[in-house]
Chains A and B, each alone.
Chain A
């Protein structure tokens, strides 16, 4: 069996499993009351769902597939306000969508979006009616994807690929800069999922679902002045991203509270869970809190003391991209 064939079978199995998994239905019983957030609904009190499972990462560092499916499914369902993950994905995505799952693989194995997580999201999408051929998992380069454990796949089925410098020829001016966007993002995708690791960033403070979009443009190196604060919000506000962004997931199976964006095993820990929201600002704000809590546990100073608290969150809130104020964010367990 080829790698691709194996993956297709796995995905098919995952999809079937996701649709039929009974325990996920129980999520509905605990669903938080209140208006369910939907894409672009701009709720005044957005929901960020947090799902942690001690058994998510095994002693060998592998992901337990069943725990992953349950945890990720629960967190997305809670974030969207639906009883099951499939219902949540159905609410956010249409079968006619072409869905891009943007992963973050700069850090290689250990501090990148785990392939199992991205492919589980793809499985949920399929279970919700999006054909596998219309689901893309992508990042900057094949090289970085491979280094993070992904197998490049050109289809049929879910495609996994790097931009590999295939940027759209049109220069898009946005906020304080201008960029060429990944060609697939610019021309094919109709819906987006940002799925990033939970990690520190030495300049931005935290690299989460919003900064993940640096990996979709040709000139991220130009966008790191002033803790990235002038750039991240305006990039996410670009129509190519903002108008398509439906779901934001932070993969905290293993997280890193210092030394990022590259891998620094000394500062990594098995957070063993996920964050999800339809509000990219809110989920990043909660991710920041998680990192700060861990930093305190291990004796590191707050990011502000190092002059690198993620100021881009406040800028994003000012732009109306979401809610950065923790007091206005509904943190719900899943």
Chain B
């Protein structure tokens, strides 16, 4: 997560040389609306958004919780399609995806807005803002894909804020990318309705879900959302066969109990699959959670051990550069297959998606 902070810091610099060189804050009426894909009309000019479980009922000229979807004359529009506010080239390990094209880069982008309100949001300046409150630029899906090609990135990662709120843009990028061999991945809180998820899963290559806790009360207090919808998303991702990785940010004293971690691990094992990569990442105080210390590494190690004891095969530590928990090890013979340091891949010994020593197949998108 510190990497994310670094990203925000570096963004300004990268913007200058990247697509956001012409970035501007949208002024009055400066937001170009694009028809939203998932909504239904209601009496009296209201609409009900269908992109996320909040199902916001929105009156004319108002917006939903995410701040990016507006009712204009009884129709719902997204104000962020083709309007990224963040753009950078990142290693795919930073998302983190550890089982997707190791060592590859991803053209990473975000628009303003999020449908949750997490107390430790790393990117709150853009995630908890409306689109007119942050500088953005115009970048069509075709532009995004061409930029990825030019930069030698085989992936486009929709990340940093919450790609569910710009799902139409994600979908169009994924379709445009598929035609030229650029794959699209989502880094998301998983707070999405069934229909948009199904449509996204037909086009994207991988989906990373931030599972922000496994206790419904904590989840509600911490994010403003309902845990059950994220669990539904994880089940559906398995059903769709979309490559899935899970991140659990461990916040000291908040969501780090042995019982909670074991319950989380059992859920992943039984309902998503024991070979699903699970990343326990280190919390650092930020945004509205500045009264807690960074997560002790020992706590993360305890979580990892508990999850592995419950039968998960690929459990990683995040935000602890140099820790052995960053490496991918073969569940068959125990040998290190992919060695990492921080956000970088140092060595990849996989042969054809399998262990070169015991030939066990390792699940993932390797080519």
Contact = CB atoms under 8 A, between A and B. Distances in A.
B64 interface: yes
Contacts of A262: 45, 59-62
Nearest to A173: B288
B46 A222 contact: no
B161 to A, nearest CB: 14
Contact of A259 (B44, B129, B132): B44
A221 to B, nearest CB: 4
A203 B56 CA distance: 10
A311 B117 CA distance: 22
Contacts of B266: none
A93 to B, nearest CB: 31
B28 A222 contact: no
A259 to B, nearest CB: 5
B59 A260 contact: yes
Interface size class of A (residues with CB under 8 A): 20 to 34
B129 A221 contact: no
B45 A224 contact: no
Contact of B29 (A143, A224, A225): A143
A165 B61 contact: no
Interface in A165-195: 165, 167, 171, 173, 177-178
A141 B117 CA distance: 24
A165 B25 contact: yes
A219 interface: yes
Contact of B63 (A141, A142, A221, A263): A221
Given A143-B28, A221-B67, A202 B61 contact: no
Contacts of B63: 221
B28 A141 contact: yes
Interface in B23-72: 25, 27-29, 44-46, 56-57, 59-67
B130 interface: yes
A291 interface: no
A107 B129 CA distance: 22
B67 A202 contact: no
A110 to B, nearest CB: 12
B348 interface: no
B25 A221 contact: no
B28 A178 contact: no
Contacts of A219: 67, 128-130
A218 interface: yes
Contacts of A165: 25, 132-133
A265 to B, nearest CB: 11
A131 interface: no
A203 B46 CA distance: 12
5 smallest A-B Cβ distances: which pairs? A262-B60, A221-B67, A262-B59, A143-B28, A259-B44
17 contacts: A106-B62, A141-B28, A164-B27, A165-B132, A171-B287, A202-B46, A218-B133, A219-B130, A221-B65, A222-B128, A224-B65, A225-B224, A259-B45, A259-B59, A262-B45, A262-B61, A262-B62
Interface of A: 106-108, 141-143, 164-165, 167, 171, 173, 177-178, 202-203, 218-219, 221-222, 224-225, 258-264
